[in-house]
C-alpha cells in the first residue's frame, strides 16, 4: 500500500480496494462511477485493483472488498469465501448484499422447483433453494445500505475508514430527513410509505421525489411495526400493501412475524 496521502501532517495509506458482484443488477457498483464530479477525489483515497465495471485489470491483492449482490448459487458461496480469505475487510454493498434484496422475494415460495420451472422453463440453471445475504455465508465487517447505495455515503465511509474514524449509521428513521427537507407527508398525498420505520441516511431520497419509501435500508433502530400498521389502516391502505413493502428488500424479515401477530 502506498503512503502518498497526508492528513494533518500524518501520512496515510491508500488501501487497495476491489469490487465484486454476486447475484445482482450491479446498480450499486454503477453508483460509484456515476458521479463524475467527485470520482477523482474518491479515487485519490484508494487504489482500485479490481472493478469489472470500470477497469480491465484484475488483482487478488486487496485490503478492502466491496461485495454487491446476494448469494444464490454454490459457486457464489465459494467465491465469497475466497474473497473473505483474501480481504482484511469485507463490506456488504447495498440491500442485496445486506438483506438479500429483491432477490430474496423468491424465498416466499415453498416449492422452489416450481419457481425454477416458471422462471427458467427447461433451461438448466444452477441455483440454490434459498437466497441469502452475505452475512449468512461469511463474516462481514461493515454494511452499506440502500437500493442502490448513495455514492456520497460510500465516499464518507471510505474517508472515515482511511482516517481511522468510527462508522456510525443513522439510528433515526427516514421520516426525520423527510421533515428536515420540508416535504409534505406522503400519507397525506395518498401514498403508502415505510419512512416511519426505515433506517435513515438516504436523505429521504424517494420521498423527495414524492415516492413512498419501500424500506430498502432496513429497519431503524426502533422500528415500531405495530404503529406503521395502524398508520396504514388510518390512511386506508391494506395489510397486503404493507406486507409487500416490508418483504420487498428483506431488511424487515425479522419483523414479519411481529407483523403477522400484532
SS (H, E, C) 153-165: HHHHHHHHHHHCC
First CA to last CA across the chain, in angstroms? 53
Q: Is residue 222 part of a domain?
A: yes
**Tally of CB atoms within 10 A around 95:** 33
Does residue 185 sit in the same domain as residue 106?
no
Last residue of a domain, one of 128, 163, 198: 163
Query: Which of 141, 159, 63 lies closest to 97 in space, CA to CA?
Result: 141
HSE at residue 35, side-chain half, CA atoms within 13 A, is 17
Does residue 141 sit in the same domain as residue 198?
no
Domain extent, residue 223, equals 174-261
Say how far apart CA 193 and CA 189 lie, in whole Å.
Answer: 11
Does residue 225 sit in the same domain as residue 118?
no
Q: Is residue 168 part of a domain?
A: no
Q: What is the CATH number of the domain that holds 146?
A: 3.40.50.700
Query: Residue range 37-43: average pLDDT?
Result: 84
Contacts of 32 (CB under 8 A, 6+ apart): 19, 42, 51, 54, 151, 154
Does residue 179 sit in the same domain as residue 155?
no
Does residue 23 sit in the same domain as residue 61?
yes
Query: Residue range 183-191: average pLDDT?
Result: 96
Does residue 249 sit in the same domain as residue 192?
yes
Does residue 98 sit in the same domain as residue 197?
no
Does residue 124 sit in the same domain as residue 186?
no
Does residue 73 sit in the same domain as residue 111?
yes
pLDDT of residue 1: 43
Does residue 78 sit in the same domain as residue 106?
yes
* Span 212-225, pLDDT tens digits: 999 999 999 989 99
How many structural domains are present in the chain?
2
- What is the sign of the dihedral through the CA atoms of 189, 192, 194 and 197? positive
* Span 96-148, pLDDT tens digits: 999 999 999 999 898 988 888 888 898 878 888 899 999 999 999 999 999 99
Quick check: 247 pLDDT over 70?
Answer: yes
Q: What percent of the chain has pLDDT over 90?
A: 73
Omega within 30 of 0 (cis) for the link into 59:
no
Does residue 159 sit in the same domain as residue 35?
yes
Last residue of a domain, one of 163, 182, 206: 163
184: cell is: 409534505
Last residue of a domain, one of 108, 130, 163: 163
Amino acid at each position: 500500500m502506498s503512503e502518498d496521502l497526508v492528513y494533518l501532517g500524518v501520512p496515510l495509506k491508500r488501501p487497495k480496494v476491489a469490487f465484486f458482484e454476486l447475484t445482482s443488477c450491479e446498480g450499486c457498483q454503477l453508483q460509484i462511477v456515476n458521479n463524475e464530479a467527485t470520482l477523482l477525489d474518491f479515487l485519490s483515497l484508494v487504489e482500485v485493483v479490481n472493478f469489472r465495471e470500470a477497469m480491465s485489470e484484475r488483482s487478488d491483492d486487496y485490503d478492502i472488498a466491496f461485495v454487491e449482490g446476494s448469494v444464490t448459487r454454490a459457486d457464489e458461496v465459494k467465491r465469497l469465501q475466497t474473497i473473505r480469505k483474501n480481504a482484511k475487510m469485507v463490506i456488504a454493498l447495498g440491500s442485496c448484499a445486506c438483506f438479500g434484496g429483491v432477490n430474496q422475494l423468491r424465498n416466499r415460495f415453498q416449492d422452489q422447483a416450481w419457481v425454477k420451472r416458471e422462471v427458467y422453463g427447461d433451461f438448466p440453471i444452477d441455483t440454490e433453494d434459498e437466497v441469502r445475504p452475505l452475512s449468512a455465508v461469511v463474516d462481514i465487517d461493515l454494511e452499506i445500505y440502500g437500493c442502490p447505495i448513495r455514492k456520497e455515503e460510500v465516499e464518507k465511509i471510505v474517508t472515515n475508514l482511511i482516517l481511522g474514524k468510527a462508522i456510525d449509521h443513522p439510528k433515526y428513521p427516514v421520516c426525520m430527513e423527510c421533515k428536515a427537507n420540508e416535504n409534505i407527508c406522503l400519507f397525506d398525498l395518498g401514498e403508502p410509505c415505510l419512512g416511519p420505520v426505515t433506517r435513515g441516511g438516504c436523505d429521504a431520497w424517494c420521498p423527495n421525489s414524492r415516492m413512498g419509501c419501500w424500506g430498502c435500508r432496513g429497519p431503524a433502530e426502533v422500528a415500531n411495526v405495530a404503529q406503521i400498521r395502524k398508520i396504514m389502516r388510518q390512511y386506508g391502505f391494506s395489510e397486503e400493501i404493507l406486507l409487500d413493502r416490508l418483504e420487498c428488500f428483506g431488511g424487515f424479515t425479522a419483523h414479519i412475524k411481529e407483523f403477522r401477530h400484532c
